Amino acid sequence: MSLKTRNALVTGSTSGIGLAIARALAKEGANVCLNGFGDAAAIEAERAGLEKDFGVRAIYSGADMSKPAEIAAMVKEAEAKLGSVDILVNNAGIQFVSPVEDFPVEKWDQIIAINMSSVFHAVRAAVPGMKARKWGRIVNTASAHSLVASPFKSAYVTAKHGVAGFNKTMALELATFGITSNCISPGYVWTPLVEKQIPDTMKARNLSRDEVINNVLLTAQPTKQFVTVEQVAALALFLCSDAASQITGANISMDGGWTAA
Ligand code: NAD
């Protein structure tokens, strides 16, 4: 597969899953617009690295995905600098864990904005160009929590279920325009965020590394193994291929069996 003629925008791609997806798309030849927060020098090193490693054009937008006007401007900027947005990966997301009665109102609003409403704003801005070119790929990083719930994650579970519903609506609306819309729903993915929790949890609970992984982190995941960011990126890449042109409106689990239970 080659994506040499394609331009991709990946939200939340300065770290974790989004960065792996951006790298996988660039490796197949797509030009890429990175987005997300982080250390400016580290982001610039990633951007320049994509250009050097894969011979593609890579740009960066610092748009805040909780701000509709910044999202629309980011899509316009990517279209102006790269020529189009053919592939839109809606990936930016945050988490907050709290009993509902203590859940800070501003955290609820932030999670709904970043994890859910940003998907609407980005798709709304990118679809006219995709329709005009009669080709588009929308890939949403949803979650096992778009299909099932866990306690204390009310905003996250609500937002991800919202993304799953929006995804199906887009598949129907855009079906005759050569545009597909799909969700990838990972279980626990091995990201620096997860890895960093292990030593502290070992100390706090007096557990071994394996016990923390199996009995604390991966209680819900039957394989007792993390998904890797490369595995999520490989599925995203496949959904962008012509072989996947009839996959639309799907919500594809990659969760070690979590949602089979
Ligand atoms: P991460 O923290 O490594 O990456 C999140 C990215 O989103 C970063 O680039 C960050 O800068 C960006 N971001 C956060 N707030 C933003 C904002 N307001 N504007 C722009 N960018 C913003 O996390 P990750 O694990 O790679 O998660 C990526 C996506 O995958 C999220 O939507 C998350 O819900 C989903 N997901 C993660 C897991 C997991 O176990 N890690 C499982 C299922 C789903």
Protein residue whose Cα sits closest to atom 43 of ligand 1: 143
Q: CB of 92 closer than 6 A to ligand 1? A: yes
Q: Does residue 204 form part of some domain?
A: no
Q: Which of the four pLDDT bands, split at 50, 70 and 90, describes residue 194? A: confident
pLDDT tens digits along 4-57:
999 999 999 999 999 999 999 999 999 999 999 999 999 999 999 999 999 999
Q: How far apart are CA 166 and CA 159, in angstroms?
A: 10
Written as six digits, the tokens of 153 are: 């994650």
81: CA distance to ligand 1 center in Å?
25
Q: What pLDDT does 105 receive?
A: 98
Q: Does residue 15 form part of some domain?
A: yes
Q: Does residue 121 form part of some domain?
A: yes
Q: Which of the four pLDDT bands, split at 50, 70 and 90, describes residue 197? A: confident
Q: What integer best gives the mean pLDDT of the chain?
A: 96
Q: What pLDDT does 192 receive?
A: 77
Q: What pLDDT does 31 receive?
A: 98
Mean pLDDT of 91-120: 96
Q: Does residue 68 form part of some domain?
A: yes
What backbone torsions phi and psi does residue 89 show, to the nearest 5 degrees? Answer: -110, 110
Q: CB of 233 closer than 6 A to ligand 1? A: no
Q: What pLDDT does 254 receive?
A: 98
Query: To the nearest whole percent, how much of the chain has pLDDT over 90?
Result: 92
Protein residue whose Cα sits closest to atom 33 of ligand 1: 93
Catalytic residues: 156
133: CA distance to ligand 1 center in Å?
29
Q: Does residue 120 form part of some domain?
A: yes
Domain count, the chain: 1
pLDDT tens digits along 199-229:
988 998 999 999 999 988 899 899 999 999 9
Mean pLDDT of 158-173: 99
Which domain does 12 fall in, by range? 7-188+228-253
Q: Does residue 42 form part of some domain?
A: yes
The pTM of the full predicted model, rounded to 2 decimals, is 0.97
Asked if the model's pLDDT at residue 186 lies above 80, the reply is: yes
187: CA distance to ligand 1 center in Å?
13
Q: Which of the four pLDDT bands, split at 50, 70 and 90, describes residue 257? A: very high
Q: Does residue 201 form part of some domain?
A: no
CATH code for the domain in which residue 48 is found: 3.40.50.720
